[in-house]
């Protein structure tokens, strides 16, 4: 959808801002450009809507060389969230949001109706906030308006330059999550700039890590964190990249252990016999509808009296995550409940448990899979335990 072919930009004063950029943003994909200040991110972004012209190479949008496209027409296809938000101070929030639709010739009433819809979409009540002026908003609210304005004309492409840069970390995380939720629904092709590796990893389907004017690595967040391509990237993503990687690696059914299962209402002695055969020290306990109740130890079952049901001996356990959740969430559940494992559910259905050892394996396997360029399920189990 957006394709850079050997793109370079040398400014008139001789500064080489970027050089030899080649990468692609697929339709509906969110790519983050991350790197330190001055490495050429904004320059890259502004070449896409021709606010800056490259000095070498070419950029294609939908297969078309944009050098041949009228810049005004080109920009209509692209929402642009600029680094400093850039709202017009003397226009209301509603009019700010309606700017682009009005520019491209929508009738005023329709443009304003659309603007109200968009404000609502980014979590600002149009009745409350629409009539206000930018100065009457918090930093986070202004950034939401920036996003709403960029989306207003429903462009297929969204260019965002540090869109959540001007707010504190808590608000930023909320805005990031909201934007990800929004992106799930609207599926724009997004190029997003940030200098924050955490943000790049959280938001990007793929990330371009910039060194000075060049891309050092272009890959999925998990791959960048797991196998940095150069020492520069390794330094940039930091020594805690293993921890960061936890947040981008999902819990998969293959990672799970399947301990014996006992039912709340079943006779304890039957469950005890089953555990003896399997040699397990504990069992997961489910209720009559198959939902997680907790666990029971083999010792407790052994000491059970004749008529005890499993329920009399079981302990509650609330540590669970849905399958597909990030490993980090599973780990955090374990810590929060001071538990040695966490149940993994598919809807209400119990799939298995994730233990710290399995969590480590899952992490290692995803690193190895990226290194080999194959799916995680194809990586041999032994390569993990041998490592």
- For Mg ion, the closer of residues 42 and 183 by Cβ is 42
Cα distances (angstroms) measured from residue 125 to each of 86, 141, 169, 212, 253: 21, 11, 23, 42, 41
- For ligand ADP, the closer of residues 98 and 209 by Cβ is 209
Can you say how many angstroms the Cα of residue 232 is from the centroid of all Cα atoms in its chain?
Answer: 23
Can you say how many angstroms the Cα of residue 322 is from the centroid of all Cα atoms in its chain?
Answer: 16
Q: Are 87 and 133 in contact (CB under 8 A)?
A: no
Binding site for ligand ADP (CB under 6 A): 11, 13, 15, 17, 35, 37-43
6 makes contact, choosing from Mg ion, ligand ADP, none, with CB < 5 to 8 Å by partner type, with: none
Task: Using alpha carbons only, give the angle 136, 193, 243 rounded to the nearest 5 degrees.
Answer: 105
Strand locations in 162-231, DSSP E?
189-194, 206-210, 215-219
Which residue, judged by CB position, is nearest to Mg ion in the bound state?
A: 42
**Least distance in angstroms from the C-beta of 35 to ligand ADP:** 6
- For ligand ADP, the closer of residues 18 and 222 by Cβ is 18
**Least distance in angstroms from the C-beta of 212 to ligand ADP:** 8
- For ligand ADP, the closer of residues 166 and 264 by Cβ is 166
- For ligand ADP, the closer of residues 40 and 204 by Cβ is 40
DSSP string, 275-340: HHHHT-SEEEEE-TTS-EEEEEEHHHHHT--TT-BGGGT-EE---EEETT-BHHHHHHHHHHTT-S
- For ligand ADP, the closer of residues 78 and 323 by Cβ is 78
Binding mask 130-149 for Mg ion (x = CB under 5 A): --------------------
Q: Is residue 105 within a helix (H) or strand (E), and if so which, with residue range? A: none
Output DSSP code: residue 264. Answer: T
**Least distance in angstroms from the C-beta of 45 to Mg ion:** 8
Q: What sign has the CA pseudo-torsion 242, 244, 248, 251?
A: positive
DSSP H helices, 187-264, are: 197-203, 221-226, 231-237, 241-246
- For Mg ion, the closer of residues 42 and 143 by Cβ is 42
214 makes contact, choosing from ligand ADP, Mg ion, none, with CB < 5 to 8 Å by partner type, with: none
**Least distance in angstroms from the C-beta of 83 to ligand ADP:** 8
**Least distance in angstroms from the C-beta of 55 to ligand ADP:** 12
11 makes contact, choosing from Mg ion, ligand ADP, none, with CB < 5 to 8 Å by partner type, with: ligand ADP
Q: Which residues of 108-139 are buried (b: 16+ CB within 10 A; e: fewer)?
A: eeebbebbbebbebbbbebeebbebebeebee
**Least distance in angstroms from the C-beta of 42 to ligand ADP:** 3
**Least distance in angstroms from the C-beta of 17 to ligand ADP:** 4
**Least distance in angstroms from the C-beta of 160 to ligand ADP:** 12
239 makes contact, choosing from Mg ion, ligand ADP, none, with CB < 5 to 8 Å by partner type, with: none
259 makes contact, choosing from ligand ADP, Mg ion, none, with CB < 5 to 8 Å by partner type, with: none
Cα distances (angstroms) measured from residue 224 to each of 47, 227, 232, 325, 367: 25, 6, 12, 20, 10
Contacts of 288 (CB under 8 A, 6+ apart): 263, 264, 265
- For Mg ion, the closer of residues 94 and 191 by Cβ is 191
Binding mask 19-48 for Mg ion (x = CB under 5 A): -----------------------x------
Cα separation, 294 vs 289, in Å, equals 14
**Least distance in angstroms from the C-beta of 139 to Mg ion:** 18
88 makes contact, choosing from ligand ADP, Mg ion, none, with CB < 5 to 8 Å by partner type, with: none
- Report the site for Mg ion in 264-303 (rule: CB under 5 A): none
Instruction: Give strand pairing partners of 294.
Output: 285, 316
- For ligand ADP, the closer of residues 3 and 41 by Cβ is 41
Cα separation, 307 vs 304, in Å, equals 8
Instruction: Give strand pairing partners of 354.
Output: 342
156 makes contact, choosing from Mg ion, ligand ADP, none, with CB < 5 to 8 Å by partner type, with: none
Which residues contribute to the site for Mg ion (CB under 5 A)? 42
């Amino acid at each position: 959808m957006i394709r850079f072919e050997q793109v370079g930009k040398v400014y008139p004063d001789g500064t080489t801002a970027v050089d030899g950029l080649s990468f692609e943003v697929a339709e509906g994909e969110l790519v983050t450009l991350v790197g330190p200040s001055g490495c050429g991110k904004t320059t890259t972004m502004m070449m896409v809507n021709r606010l800056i012209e490259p000095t070498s190479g070419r950029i294609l949008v939908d297969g078309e060389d944009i050098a041949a496209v009228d810049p005004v027409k080109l920009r209509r296809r692209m929402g642009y969230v600029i680094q400093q938000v850039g709202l017009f101070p003397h226009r209301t929030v509603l009019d700010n949001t309606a700017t682009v639709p009005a520019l491209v010739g929508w009738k005023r009433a329709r443009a304003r109706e659309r603007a109200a819809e968009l404000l609502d979409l980014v979590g600002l009540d149009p009745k409350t906030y629409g009539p206000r002026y930018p100065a009457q908003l918090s930093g986070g609210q202004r950034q939401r308006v920036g996003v709403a304005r960029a989306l207003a004309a429903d462009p297929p492409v969204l260019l965002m330059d540090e869109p959540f840069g001007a707010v504190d970390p808590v608000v930023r995380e909320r805005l990031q999550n909201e934007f990800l939720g929004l992106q799930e629904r609207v599926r724009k092709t997004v190029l997003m700039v940030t200098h924050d590796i955490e943000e790049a990893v959280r938001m990007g389907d793929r990330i371009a890590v910039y060194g000075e004017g060049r891309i050092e690595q272009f890959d999925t967040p998990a791959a960048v964190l797991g196998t940095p391509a150069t020492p520069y990237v390794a330094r940039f993503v930091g020594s805690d990249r293993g921890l960061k990687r936890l947040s981008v690696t999902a819990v998969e059914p293959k990672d799970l252990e399947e301990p014996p299962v006992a039912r709340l209402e079943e006779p304890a002695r039957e469950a005890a016999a089953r555990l003896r055969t399997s040699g397990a020290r504990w069992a997961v306990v489910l209720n009559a509808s198959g939902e997680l109740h907790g666990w029971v130890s083999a010792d407790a079952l052994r000491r059970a009296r004749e008529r005890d049901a499993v329920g009399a001996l079981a302990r509650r356990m609330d540590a669970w995550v849905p399958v597909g959740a990030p490993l980090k969430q599973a780990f955090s559940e374990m810590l929060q409940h001071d538990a040695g494992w966490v149940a993994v559910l598919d809807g209400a259905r119990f799939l298995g448990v994730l233990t710290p050892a399995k969590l480590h394996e899952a992490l290692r396997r995803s690193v190895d899979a990226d290194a080999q360029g194959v799916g995680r399920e194809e990586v041999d189990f032994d390569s993990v335990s041998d490592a």
